[in-house]
Amino acid sequence: MAGLDVRAALKTGVAACHTDGVYSNHGRLYTPGQAQRPTRDPGPPRAMTTPEPSASRQLLPYRIAALVLLIACAALAVALVQALTPAPKPLGASDALPGAGAPVKRAAPTGHSPHRQVVLDTMFKEHGEPLCEGCNIVVVSIDTLRPDRMSAYGYPQETTPRVRSWFGDAGRMERAYSSAPCTVPSVKQFMTSSYHGGFPTMAEAFGEQGYATAAIVSQHHLRIGRGTARGFHHYDIQGLWERDAHSLSTRRAETIVNKAIHWLEQDGQRAERFFLWLHHFDPHDPYHPPAPFRDGLTASSLVPDGDRRAVQMKRWEAAPASERPEAWYLMDAIFSDADRAALLERYDAEIRYTDQQLGRLFDALERLQLTERTIVVLLSDHGERLGEDGAWDHCYTLADVEIRVPLLWKIPGVTLPASTRALPASTLDVFPTLLHLIGDASGRKRLAGRSLLDPPDERVVVASWRDEMLAAMGSWKLLYTHGDQGWTTDRLLRVAPDGATSEAPLADHAEVVRAIEAGMDAIPSLDVDLHSINEETLDQLRQLGYTQ
């Protein structure tokens, strides 16, 4: 088995043994209880009186072959586990951290694939002048959060006073996009700044630089088996008891912030520097904020508890096939104007509650005297349809309501220029910007995103989902559709300063199309088959009953 290329084995079907936590030749990860274990046939009873060779002797060559195959499978399983599914090491109180006593560079979690290790080895060989040398990093992602419902982005209702106060206006990207309107692809791409999600994660990269890495998560799709835990010394995700009837996470922002503060007070204080990722789930449906934030809200007789998904699914399943829409999340006609208003109030209340809890996190950073050496980033994985075009939910289209996201920065001693804040930006820009801040000069060249500290004059931001792809540059958006001939240009939209769009004839703006496509050609990792990746992700979500 020495020298076996495990990825080649997967492609050729060599990895046909199904052991715990090992990918099959179909690329599926089998976990305990899923794989069918072979049972050995003992064969017929030995015939002691016949001069013919016994049945056991006849079976001996087959048994030897089976044993050899079993050993080979076991060796391959070890190789696969080490290369593809490294388990994150929990960070205990007794673990030696960088900066605990004598300065120690903490080893990254073992099990990097050869490809990822090569990238990691070259990522930090060259260093530029660090703008935030030795700074800690806190990344806060909030599921299903629309910027136009945040007072930090000009929403008239005061939904995010603590976020607005903490970040101010100088760190707010005005036109930030997620790479996809769905959590699984969005988070994988954001954490690796690549469209295929196969590069080292932020946690792996920063772990190589001696950062203590920790994640505290509330999202049912971000389990360890999905690769988001790669590189984290400590990965805390909701338990099986923290979910509702839809299998959605019930772990609230209060729990995440409590755990984060505890980690900061213990491991964070002992670390020379740290990378902490927090993922909140509260604005995601069902819109059911804690009691104090429900007080005074408009009541809805149809959706009294904010669980619109349950109502939509029930009505959709009961409707005659000829009368119901394509999917349950298109069941908007069942809601009255009062129902919609009540749901929107509840969505806003979830945001207001999350903002309050984030205020506790900000207070803790100040109390622990970490603000002068900690970079804080806030973003969302995607937006949410709130009845627009008769649809609710997300994982649907590349409309602004689904892929426009907040992106805010607080960087000690650094302010993003106003001209930069007005440009299109991507969640894939977070990773390279952080690398730039800590002094990297080469690693970010491999990434699909661009540092927001020195963006090109004309850069292109790309999002993709299902059979659609969007490329935004300056005041333009170019839309593609996928068909038998591959990706073809569909529409060109002009974006006004207020965000409104108007269609522009493709034939009249050929130079704009050429400029956008030239910008796309310059994006690393965009030469992958995005349509196949989209279809693979959709299949996973359909199996979970999350989309149709």
Residues 169 and 304 in one domain: yes
Residue 62: predicted pLDDT = 56
Tell me: pLDDT of 515 over 70: yes
- Each residue's pLDDT tens digit, 372-422: 999 999 999 999 999 888 888 788 889 999 999 999 999 999 999 888 898
Largest Cα span, the chain: 95
- The 8-class DSSP code of residue 330 comes to G
Residue 408: predicted pLDDT = 98
Averaged pLDDT, 224-236? 83
Task: Judge whether 350 and 282 are in contact, CB under 8 Å.
Answer: yes
- Each residue's pLDDT tens digit, 262-285: 999 999 999 999 999 999 988 987
Cα separation, 482 vs 469, in Å, equals 8
What's this model's pTM, rounded to 2 decimal places?
A: 0.74
In a domain, 219, yes or no: yes
Task: Judge whether 208 and 245 are in contact, CB under 8 Å.
Answer: no
Strand partners, 274: 212
Domain count for the chain? 2
At residue 63's C-alpha, the angle toward residues 58 and 68, to 5°, is: 145
- Residues with Cβ < 8 Å from 234, sequence gap 6 or more? 88, 90, 91, 213, 214, 215, 263, 267
Cα separation, 249 vs 342, in Å, equals 22
Tell me: pLDDT of 41 over 50: no
In a domain, 525, yes or no: yes
- 32 by Cβ neighbours in 10 Å (0-12 / 13-18 / 19+) ranks as exposed
Residues 392 and 509 in one domain: yes
Averaged pLDDT, 505-510? 92
* CATH number of the domain bearing residue 153: 3.40.720.10
In a domain, 90, yes or no: no
In a domain, 99, yes or no: no
Residues 410 and 318 in one domain: yes
Range of the domain at 420: 114-543
Residues 358 and 403 in one domain: yes
Range picked from 147-161, 482-496, 521-535 for highest mean pLDDT: 147-161
Strand partners, 235: 215
In a domain, 457, yes or no: yes
Residues 80 and 121 in one domain: no
Tell me: pLDDT of 456 over 50: yes
Tell me: pLDDT of 44 over 80: no
Higher model confidence: residue 238 or residue 479? 479
Residues 73 and 119 in one domain: no
Element (H, E) at 278: strand 274-280
Residues 73 and 124 in one domain: no
Give the orientation angle of helix 183-192 with respect to helix 430-438, to 10 degrees.
20
Residue 99: predicted pLDDT = 33
H and E: helices and strands count for the chain: 16, 18
Cα separation, 518 vs 523, in Å, equals 9
In a domain, 108, yes or no: no
